[in-house]
Amino acid sequence: MRRLIAPVVCSLLLFPLAACGADDGGDAPSAGSPGVEADGDGDLAGAGVDTPAPPCPFTADKITELVGQSMVDQGSCSFGDGKGVALLTITTASRIAGEATYDYQRQQATSTYREVKDAGKGDKGYLATKDIGAEAVVISNAGSYTVTLSSFERLGAAPDGYERTLRGLLDALPL
Q: Give pLDDT tens digits for 32-76.
A: 434 333 344 444 444 467 889 999 999 999 999 999 999 999 999
- Beta strand pairing call for 115-118 and 87-93: unpaired
Task: Report pTM.
Answer: 0.73
pLDDT at 13 over 50: no
- 97-111: average pLDDT: 98
In percent, the amount of the chain with pLDDT more than 90 equals 70
Contact of 69 with 152, CB cutoff 8 Å: yes
pLDDT at 108 over 90: yes
In terms of C-beta density within 10 A (0-12 exposed, 13-18 middle, 19 or more buried), how is residue 143 classed? buried
Q: What is the pLDDT of residue 33?
A: 37
Domain-wise residue ranges, the chain? 60-172
